[in-house]
Amino acid sequence: MTQTVTAPTDRGQRTGSRPDSGNAPDSGNAVEARGIVKHFGATKALDGVDLTVKQGTVLGVLGPNGAGKTTLIRVLSTLIKPDAGSAVVGGFDVLRQPKQLRRTIGLTGQYASVDELLSGYENLYLIGRLLDLSGRDAKARATELLERFSLTEAAKREAKTYSGGMRRRLDLAASMIGRPRVLYLDEPTTGLDPRTRNEVWAEVQRMVGEGTTVLLTTQYMEEAEQLADDLTVIDRGRVIAAGSVAGLKAQVGGQTLQIRAVDAAELPEMAHCLGEAGIVGASVSTDAGLLAVPITGDEQLTAVIGVLGTRGFGVAGIDTQVPSLDEVFLAITGSSAVAAAAKESQA
Ligand SMILES: Nc1ncnc2c1ncn2[C@@H]1O[C@H](COP(=O)(O)OP(=O)(O)OP(=O)(O)O)[C@@H](O)[C@H]1O
Ligand SMILES: [Mg+2]
């Protein structure tokens, strides 16, 4: 596999160092980026990106292929310099304090970057030593991480004999050696089988539990759903949506109430009464014995229950259905694509 980040300095930069190094940011934000712009020739990979990761939380960065996710991570890791904008990570400025910043972060790039000729153990031990761990500590940390990522049996084999999933796990272990305060994970589970994916998720959650802040890019909505507190969606180098997972879902689709009646024959009458009370859009599914009512918030939920109760309908159960993150993502990136096409046709 190829490496996206420049090779000679990568090993030192991808991993973090001592948790006690650096300043605690005053803002309560572990990462703060403002107006980041990055061109590659004629391509505007980042076009004024703002992003915030609160201390001790996970921010999921979502976006289609080519949106600028990896470029953003490279800027925030000091692997490339932005053309404009500013960013502070762990209290350190990407442009003015790159060395200190690198000692605060851990990075797992989009492509595995293990040394193929070394064994899994040697890879981890070496990185530990590069991070100034003593021989004994580096050994202990390597052994511990190999165990956590189910690589103990393969520890002595050259990494070139590892499967894709094993390399990925070794890569993640490598980024965690220095117990970084801020961890960047660029599509950490792409290509992993479900069991390994779960292991990685558990490990990320464990690190977050220990106080690590995580910035994660992903194409998997399930992963964002599992791990992220907040989301930033980027497309064509611009932020097109940002907020909490629940907030974005509410913004896109609201919720749907699914009401089961004691007597399914009453469903059409229930829909009619709701309509009369100004609650529109109710639809009856006689097969499922359900009345579906789109709502935008809790007040409407209360109103629906109130109307049905007052009119004397028997309600056997109510479920709320929120849109999946897949639906949210498609809705957001879809409308962004439509807007971009409109802009292009105007130009
Ligand atoms: N070194 C480079 N030289 C030229 N163009 C680049 C370079 N790196 C990225 N780009 C371009 O910048 C844009 C953003 O790329 P980037 O890799 O950041 O996207 P991404 O969101 O990570 O995509 P993916 O989901 O496919 O990983 C793309 O158009 C890409 O072709
Ligand atoms: Mg990428």
Determine the topology of domain 11-248 in CATH: Rossmann fold (3.40.50)
Q: Which pLDDT band holds residue 30 (cuts at 50, 70, 90)?
A: very high
Q: Across residues 305-309, what is the average pLDDT?
A: 93
Q: Which of 22, 167, 165, 18 has the alpha carbon at shortest distance from 98?
A: 22
Instruction: Give me the percent of the chain exceeding a pLDDT of 70.
Output: 86
Determine the pLDDT at residue 18: 40
Does residue 340 register a pLDDT over 60? yes
End-to-end Cα separation, the chain, in angstroms: 41
Classify 100 in phi/psi space as left (phi over 0), alpha (psi -120 to 50) or beta.
Answer: alpha
Classify residue 308 as exposed, middle or buried by CB count within 10 Å of its CB (0-12, 13-18, 19+): buried
Q: Indicate the pairing of strand 58-62 with strand 29-40.
A: unpaired
The pLDDT value recorded for residue 345 is 66
Residue 281 or residue 46, greater confidence: 46
Q: Decide: 68 in ligand 1 pocket, CB within 6 A.
A: yes
Alpha-carbon span 134 to 18, nearest angstrom: 13
Structural tokens at position 5: 């980040």
- Give the ligand whose atoms come closest to the C-alpha of residue 236: 1
Q: What pLDDT, on a 0 to 100 scale, did the predictor assign at position 19?
A: 42
**Helix count (H) and strand count (E) of the chain?**
12, 14
Find the 329 Cα to ligand 1 centroid distance in Å. 20
Residue 347's pLDDT is 60
Long-range contacts of 199-208 (CB under 8 A, 24+ apart): 199/149, 199/150, 199/169, 200/168, 200/169, 200/172, 201/226, 201/227, 203/148, 203/149, 203/172, 203/176, 204/58, 207/176, 207/183, 208/56, 208/57, 208/58
**Span from the CA of 43 to the centroid of ligand 1 (angstroms):** 9
Neighbours of 258 (CB within 10 A): 16
Q: Whose CA is nearest to atom 3 of ligand 1?
A: 40
DSSP 114-156: --TTSBHHHHHHHHHHHTT--HHHHHHHHHHHHHHTT-TTTTT
Rg (CA), the chain: 24
pLDDT at 32 over 70: yes
Residues 6+ away with beta carbon under 8 Å from 291: 257, 258, 259, 260, 261, 267, 270, 271, 282, 283, 284, 285
Nearest atom, ligand 1, residue 73 CA? 18
Q: Whose CA is nearest to atom 12 of ligand 1?
A: 45
**CA 6 / ligand 2 centre spacing (Å):** 15
How confident is residue 17, by pLDDT bands cut at 50, 70 and 90? very low
For ligand 1, is residue 13 a contact (CB within 6 Å)? no
Q: Ligand 2 center to residue 44 CA distance, Å? A: 15
Q: For residue range 200-243, what is the model confidence (pLDDT) as tens digits? A: 888 889 889 989 999 999 888 888 888 999 999 999 999 998 99
User: Phi then psi for 328, rounded to 5 degrees?
Assistant: -60, -50
234 CA: nearest ligand 1 atom: 21
Whether 337 has a pLDDT exceeding 80, the answer reads: no
The CA distance from 318 to 291, in Å, is 9
Confidence of residue 27 (pLDDT cuts 50, 70, 90): low
Q: Is the Cβ–Cβ distance between 176 and 106 less than 8 Å?
A: yes
Give the number of other CB atoms < 10 A from CB of residue 220: 18
Q: Give the residue, by CA position, lying nearest to ligand 1 atom 25.
A: 65
Q: Which ligand has the shortest distance to the CA of 63?
A: 1
String of DSSP letters for 232-258: EEEETTEEEEEEEHHHHHHHHH-EEEE
Q: d(Cα 342, Cα 323) in Å, to the nearest integer?
A: 27
Q: Distance from the CA of 64 to the center of ligand 2, in angstroms?
A: 9
131 alpha carbon – ligand 2 mean position (Å): 26
Q: What is the pLDDT of residue 9?
A: 35
Q: Whose CA is nearest to atom 30 of ligand 1?
A: 66
Q: CA–CA separation, 55 vs 213, rounded Å?
A: 6
Q: What is the CATH number of domain 255-321?
A: 3.30.70.100
The ligand 1 atom at the shortest distance from the C-alpha of residue 219 is 25
- Indicate if the pLDDT at residue 8 is higher than 60: no
Instruction: Express each pLDDT in 80-131 by its tens digit.
Output: 999 999 999 999 999 999 999 988 998 887 666 788 899 999 999 999 998 8
Give the ligand 1 atom nearest the CA of 71.
18
pLDDT for 105-115, tens place per residue? 988 876 667 88
Q: Is 67 in the pocket of ligand 1 (CB under 6 A)?
A: yes
Q: Which tens digits make up the pLDDT trace of 134-156?
A: 999 999 999 999 998 889 999 99
Q: Which of 241, 242, 332, 239 is nearest to 48 (CA)?
A: 239
Category of 85 on φ-ψ map: left (φ > 0), alpha (ψ -120 to 50) or beta: left
Alpha carbon distances (Å) from 200 to 7, 25, 90, 150, 228:
25, 28, 24, 11, 14
- The span from the CA of 248 to the CA of 63, in Å, is 14
pLDDT of residue 335: 66
Over residues 144-200, the pLDDT tens digits come to 999 988 899 999 999 999 987 888 889 889 998 988 999 999 998 887 888 888 888
| Mutation test residue for ligand 1: of 38, 43, 77, 217, the one with most atoms within 8 Å of CB | 43
Sequence ranges of the chain with CATH classification 3.30.70.100? 255-321
Distance 151 CA to ligand 2 centre (A): 26
CATH 3.40.50.300 domain locations along the chain: 11-248
Per-residue pLDDT averaged across 29-35, rounded? 96
